[in-house]
Amino acid sequence: MNYNQIAALPEKIGSLHNLYEIDFQHNDLRILPKSICELSHLEILNLKENPIAKLPDNFGKLQNIEELHFSKHNLSGSEIARIKKMFSGIELSFK
């Protein structure tokens, strides 16, 4: 779903329990629905080149995540630090 100017993901995305990869790079996502944190099988989340500024508070529930990709984002330094603390030891990219 790349290069589609998608501005929001539906709250129902959290009901896709067997989803293991989300790739929405090069869109216009600013926030993620809280329900994304219910994706217990999610391993890869690629949100490169989206103006995301903050992730859901319960983002740490993504316990099977192996890769998180952000670039050209609007995440603050404290939000990046929070993500790094939650997901130490996995592949993270913010550039």
pLDDT for 1 equals: 74
The full 3-state SS of the chain, as one line of letters, equals CCCCCCCCCCHHHHHCCCCCEEECCCCCCCCCCHHHHHCCCCCEEECCCCCCCCCCCCHHHCCCCCEEECCCCCCCHHHHHHHHHHCCCCEEECC
pLDDT for 57 equals: 93
Domain ranges of the chain: 17-93
pLDDT for 3 equals: 75
pLDDT at 2 over 90: no
38-94: pLDDT as tens digits: 999 999 999 999 999 989 999 999 999 999 999 999 999 999 999 999 998 899 998
Report the CATH number of the 17-93 domain: 3.80.10.10
**What is the model's pTM?**
0.91
pLDDT band at 31 (very low <50, low <70, confident <90, very high): very high
